[in-house]
């Protein structure tokens, strides 16, 4: 069963007529939105790059280039990166392309590709698998976050011995999320799970100020790991529902996140308990899946 | 499709006719026939089903009866079913016992859920006392140097302050841990020292909290019915829930060392395996799980 991810709030812009996509889809589980640039209204590549240069990191530009050079591929595979709506181009906010929609879209284009489209269908891989590693100190809220992502009940959570794993399907991506226990005793086992990680999510209990130093140290050590080099990192400043929670900006400063130069990173304040902010963080994850520098 | 159709007809027509025919043949109502044929958990379980599916409001609501009203409810049922107390003297006693078990199980779940919902609160003196009691029971020779201390890891908590480890199980997790250490102190010491095994070791306290979750979810899913109906002749209480927890802790430790997992990282895999094993045992209507030392 595929989860349809879409924006939770705000009206959805009407799709252009040549995009005959299915009706409104039921949001299930995690909700996230992906913005696509409408193919028919795409401005010239140079203009787009120029527009994006001032606000997006380099990794984005690179993938955008690929997308533009090879439009058929773009339609075959889910867009690895998303382009935020810029003033000139009218952004189309559409659910990510799934198999069924693809077919409809092609018929809509008059089937002008014939054999090519069949070949493309053969080539089009199943959902791209993404390995996400969820780390952080004990009691940071990793398991709650994992269960929130999988839309499971979060009221009976117990401390994690070992690890939990869940797969969350989203259009185009199969997110395999590994939640590893954060207890000091089992932190040495973390490294067994580093291999082939696409995204690292580091969870911090924003209200546990006494352990900011400890959590900062663990994160710094992770960032120095060779197997995790260049892996995009998302820091969740969790437990924002608590009054004593430190704001994300304060945590970012305390952890010296701005000194990270070798990878894309993001800090996102959230509450795994209420679900607030989780979706925004996962949007970022989807956008940066392929930003791992080789 | 066929099954649901059959169920529909069975529940609405056949069941009623069958009961009518049997009633004419034996001169007894379904409840009496159950008492004649079955004992133990099977009896209570069948009585419960019979009452739940009954179209009669008095019978249907009997499964939710309060403890003080059981006597009156039994009399209502006898009136409703035209049972002559002189002819069938045992009916009253049996029915009362069954109703106490059935409504007691429901009440036990409410009680357990109430404890679970209470989070551990460090400002609550009783909670703090209970936590220190746990330490003293498990570590009688070592004094706890401070309330917030690395020593807590020695009995298998994750960090310096155990309060964060109770999480979804609340104070219920702590009560369970203390109950086991208090009533089976020698066994608790043995298990704690085994849990410090360099290769096969696990974190005693948080595994205990995980097992509280297992006991709780089994109670919630009604999987403990056969067990409690067999084990407790009257009203099942918190005490019996704790007893079941103790059984789980003891058996899990045995299971873990028999299975010899590669590392603690596979805990959830073995936990699930153990869970399945217990669920299988609980399916037997003659189940009797007791901690045998």
- Collect all residues of chain B within an 8 Å Cβ-Cβ radius of residue A155: 168
Any idea which residue has 């040549």 for tokens? A18
- Helix (H) or strand (E) run with residue A15 in it: none
- Collect all residues of chain B within an 8 Å Cβ-Cβ radius of residue A189: 263-265
Predicted local confidence at residue A122, as pLDDT: 60
- Whether A158 contacts A144, CB under 8 Å: no
Cβ of B206 under 8 Å from any chain A Cβ? yes
- Collect all residues of chain B within an 8 Å Cβ-Cβ radius of residue A140: none
B85 burial via Cβ count (<10 Å: 0-12, 13-18, 19+): exposed
Helices (H), A94-247: 99-108, 115-123, 142-149, 212-224
CA end-to-end span of chain B, whole Å? 49
Residue in A closest to B261 by C-alpha? A162
Torsion of CA A251, A256, A262, A267, to 10 degrees: 10
Q: Which domain holds residue A189?
A: 127-289
Q: Is it the case that residue B256 has pLDDT exceeding 60?
A: yes
DSSP category for residue B12: I
pLDDT, tens only, A12-56: 444 444 444 444 444 444 433 333 334 444 445 555 444 444 444
* Mean per-residue pLDDT, B23-45: 85
- Helix (H) or strand (E) run with residue A267 in it: strand A265-269
**Interface list for B 30-89 with A (CB within 8 A):** none
Question: Which residues of chain A have a Cβ shorter than 8 Å from any chain B Cβ?
Answer: 137-139, 154-164, 182-186, 189, 192
Predicted local confidence at residue A118, as pLDDT: 65
Residue B26 CB partners (closer than 8 Å, separation 6+): B33
Q: How many CB pairs under 8 A join A and B?
A: 72
- Collect all residues of chain B within an 8 Å Cβ-Cβ radius of residue A178: none
Q: The complex's ipTM? A: 0.86
- Which pairing describes strands A128-135 and A163-170: parallel, antiparallel, or unpaired? unpaired
Which segments in chain A show pLDDT lower than 50? Answer: 1-43, 48-111, 293-294
| pLDDT above 90 as % of chain B | 64
Report the CATH number at residue A277: 3.40.50.300
Predicted local confidence at residue A124, as pLDDT: 60
Which residue has better confidence, B25 or A85?
A: B25
pTM confidence score: 0.76
* Mean per-residue pLDDT, B81-97: 86
DSSP string, A109-132: TTTTTTHHHHHHHHH--SPEEEEE
* Binding site listing of A for Mg(2+): 143, 160
* Mean per-residue pLDDT, B80-104: 88
Q: For residues B18 and A156, what is the distance between their CA atoms, to the nearest angstrom?
A: 44
Predicted local confidence at residue A148, as pLDDT: 94
Within-domain flag for A213: yes
- Whether A64 contacts A51, CB under 8 Å: no
Q: What are the residue boundaries of the structural domains of chain B, listed by start?
A: 1-116, 123-283
For residue A76, count other CB atoms closer than 10 A to its CB: 17
Predicted local confidence at residue A180, as pLDDT: 96
* Mean per-residue pLDDT, B63-76: 88
Q: For residues B230 and B40, what is the distance between their CA atoms, to the nearest angstrom?
A: 5
- Whether B261 contacts B200, CB under 8 Å: yes
Predicted local confidence at residue B285, as pLDDT: 85
Within-domain flag for A58: no
pLDDT, tens only, A11-23: 444 444 444 444 4
Distance from CA of A185 to the nearest CA of B (A): 8
Catalytic residues of A: 183
Inter-chain residue contact A156 with B216, CB threshold 8 Å = yes
Domains contained in chain A, number: 1
Inter-chain residue contact B209 with A164, CB threshold 8 Å = no
**Quick check: helix, strand or coil at residue B113?**
helix
Q: For residues B8 and A155, what is the distance between their CA atoms, to the nearest angstrom?
A: 35
- Whether A127 contacts A168, CB under 8 Å: no
């Amino acid at each position: 069963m595929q989860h349809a991810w879409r924006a939770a709030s705000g009206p959805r812009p009407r799709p252009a007529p040549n995009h005959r996509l299915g009706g409104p889809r039921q949001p299930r589980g995690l909700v996230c939105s992906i913005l696509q640039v409408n193919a028919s209204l795409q401005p010239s590549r140079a203009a787009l790059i120029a527009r994006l240069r001032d606000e997006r990191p380099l990794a984005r530009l690179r993938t955008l280039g690929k997308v533009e050079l090879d439009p058929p591929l773009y339609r075959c595979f889910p867009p690895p990166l998303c382009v935020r709506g810029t003033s000139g181009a009218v952004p189309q906010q559409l659910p990510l392309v799934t198999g069924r929609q693809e077919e409809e879209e092609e018929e809509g284009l008059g089937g002008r590709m014939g054999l090519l489209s069949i070949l493309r269908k053969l080539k089009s891989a199943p959902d791209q698998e993404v390995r996400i590693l969820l780390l952080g100190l004990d009691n940071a809220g990793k398991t709650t976050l994992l269960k929130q992502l999988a839309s499971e009940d979060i009221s009976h959570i117990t401390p994690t011995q070992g690890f939990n794993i869940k797969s969350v399907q989203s259009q185009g991506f199969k997110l395999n999320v590994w939640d590893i226990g954060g207890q000091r005793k089992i932190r040495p086992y973390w490294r067994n799970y580093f291999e082939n990680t696409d995204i690292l999510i580091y969870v911090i209990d924003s209200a546990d100020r006494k352990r900011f130093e400890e959590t900062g140290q663990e994160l710094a050590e992770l960032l120095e790991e060779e197997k995790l080099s260049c892996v995009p990192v998302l820091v969740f400043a969790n437990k924002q529902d608590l009054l004593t929670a430190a704001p994300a900006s304060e945590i970012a400063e305390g952890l010296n996140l701005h000194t990270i130069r070798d990878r894309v990173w993001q800090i996102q304040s959230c509450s795994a308990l209420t679900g607030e902010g989780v979706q925004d963080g996962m949007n970022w994850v989807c956008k940066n899946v392929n930003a791992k520098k080789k | 499709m066929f099954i649901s159709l059959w169920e529909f007809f069975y529940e609405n027509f056949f069941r009623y006719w069958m009961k009518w025919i049997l009633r004419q043949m034996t001169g007894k109502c379904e409840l009496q026939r159950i008492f004649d044929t079955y004992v133990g958990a099977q009896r209570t379980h069948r009585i419960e089903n019979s009452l739940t599916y009954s179209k009669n409001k008095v019978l249907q609501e009997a499964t939710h009866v309060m403890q003080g009203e059981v006597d009156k409810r039994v009399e209502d049922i006898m009136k409703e079913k035209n049972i002559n107390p002189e002819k069938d003297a045992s009916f009253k006693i049996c029915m009362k016992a069954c109703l106490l078990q059935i409504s007691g199980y429901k009440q036990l779940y409410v009680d357990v859920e109430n404890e679970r919902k209470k989070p551990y609160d460090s400002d609550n003196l009783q909670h703090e006392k209970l936590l220190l009691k746990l330490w003293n029971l498990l570590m009688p020779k070592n004094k706890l140097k401070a309330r917030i201390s690395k020593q807590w890891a020695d009995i298998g908590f994750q960090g310096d302050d155990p309060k964060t480890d109770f999480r979804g199980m609340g104070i219920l997790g702590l009560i369970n841990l203390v109950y086991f250490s208090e009533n089976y102190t020698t066994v608790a010491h043995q298990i704690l020292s085994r849990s410090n095994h360099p290769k096969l070791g696990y974190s005693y306290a948080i595994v205990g909290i995980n097992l509280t979750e297992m006991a709780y979810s089994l109670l919630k899913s009604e999987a403990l019915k056969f067990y409690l109906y067999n084990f407790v002749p009257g009203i099942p209480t918190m005490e019996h829930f704790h007893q079941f927890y103790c059984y789980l802790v003891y058996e899990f430790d045995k299971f873990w060392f028999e299975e010899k997992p590669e590392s603690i990282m596979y805990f959830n895999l073995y936990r699930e395996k153990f869970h399945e094993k217990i669920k299988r045992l609980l399916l037997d209507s003659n189940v009797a799980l007791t901690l045998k030392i």
